[in-house]
Amino acid sequence: MENHKLKTVNQISRLICVLSAALFLIMAPDALSTTSTTISLNDYIAYFYNKHSAFLNETYQTTFRAWHFDIPYYEPDKRWMKTNMSPRYQMSSAAFYAYQMQDSSRARVLVRDAILDTTIRYEKQGPSESFEGAIAAFLTVRLLEREETFPKHKRLFNAEEKRKILSILSKRLFLGLPTKDTENRAALAGVYWYYTGAYLQKHGILNDSEFQKVKERAKAKIDQSIKETLARPDNRYREKGLFSLHYHIVETFMLLMYGHLANEPVYMEKARAMTDVINSLAQDDGFLDAHIGHRPSGIGAQGYLMAGVLNLYFKNKTRAEKFFNYSYGARFFKDLRHPNRLVWYDTKSSSPIFNDDISFVNMAELALILFQKDAPILIATLP
């Protein structure tokens, strides 16, 4: 009887071993298909910049010194030329070449032309909306800051040119700040004009009194945005009463950045509470379902970047890395005709419409300001 029991136990043990081995073999291809490595936030962002700039090389029009873009997502089948009429689109494209500027003379020419075209060559042509003008000015400043670290023979502008550029940015700053912006656009304008104003003060274009006015007006825009979109006590962003997950992430990131730039902890604490909302709505793998809100229909790499940076800042590194990993690799490079094109799309659609994710670059530049390039993140990469 004892021998029979022992035999049965042995058989069960062998069966468990066989099943375990079989399960391992089934799972092994997936388990062994990825490895993890720690990279800097700077290198993470460079991956997206360098891929998308390869796409921009395909669409650059030498005659017009400009890039082609898809028009807004509600008319996806048409294409138009974004030339000097849109400083934001020009500077967004140029900024994607940031990591190539020091070593590539062609990249320096493209960036130089974009900055000149949106300032000196078309000085009288200002942006039509404050937040778009603020983004264009901010990206110009960020490229100038990067250029300032280069050897003199690789600088883009001489002293006179740079002075003219900064003078034009100053004029647009004081035109843009009083412009009426609403909802998240007011927050965007507040943050990007604040940073632009601080740079202009540093370079002697604004005096202390003028910069104080910039700070006051930027704060007014931030407060207006909060009043319009965060009226309820649940820390959820709403437009006319409707929740939007994507713009909730944008608003959260803007409040964190404003609090950081202006040294206003109360805005950072609000961002912390709003980050908790983002995390509560994320799935286990980090997926953020835009359909929870009323617009847009998808959340792109910029959304996951912001969600990751927010969590990184608030010391939730595990959650941050889930967001970073979700958007890394090929997930947002799905356009088979243009495999280097960074796009956002409805991830639930069986035949999604692809849209250029141009705002990735201005959000990424804020992330680099926040962490000064050095934040390490663990990324699962294909071998």
Write out pLDDT tens, residues 97-143: 999 999 999 999 999 999 998 898 876 655 555 899 999 999 999 99
Separation of alpha carbons 93 and 42, rounded Å = 18
User: Which residues of the chain are under the pLDDT cut of 70?
Assistant: 1-34, 61-66, 68-85, 123-129, 373-374, 381-383
Separation of alpha carbons 117 and 111, rounded Å = 10
For residue 178, is the peptide bond before it cis, meaning its omega torsion is within 30 degrees of 0?
no
Q: How many CA atoms lie within 13 A of 253 on its CB side?
A: 31
Separation of alpha carbons 94 and 324, rounded Å = 24
| Residue ranges covered by each domain of the chain | 59-229, 235-383
Q: What is the pLDDT of residue 237?
A: 98
Angle 264-267-271 from CA coordinates, rounded to 5°: 140
Q: What is the pLDDT of residue 60?
A: 77
End-to-end CA distance of the chain: 54
Q: What is the pLDDT of residue 105?
A: 95
* β-strand pairing of 242-243 with 238-239: antiparallel
Contact 222, 190 (CB under 8 A): yes
Q: Which residues partner with 79 through β-bridges?
A: 70
* β-strand pairing of 60-61 with 376-381: unpaired
Q: What is the pLDDT of residue 375?
A: 79
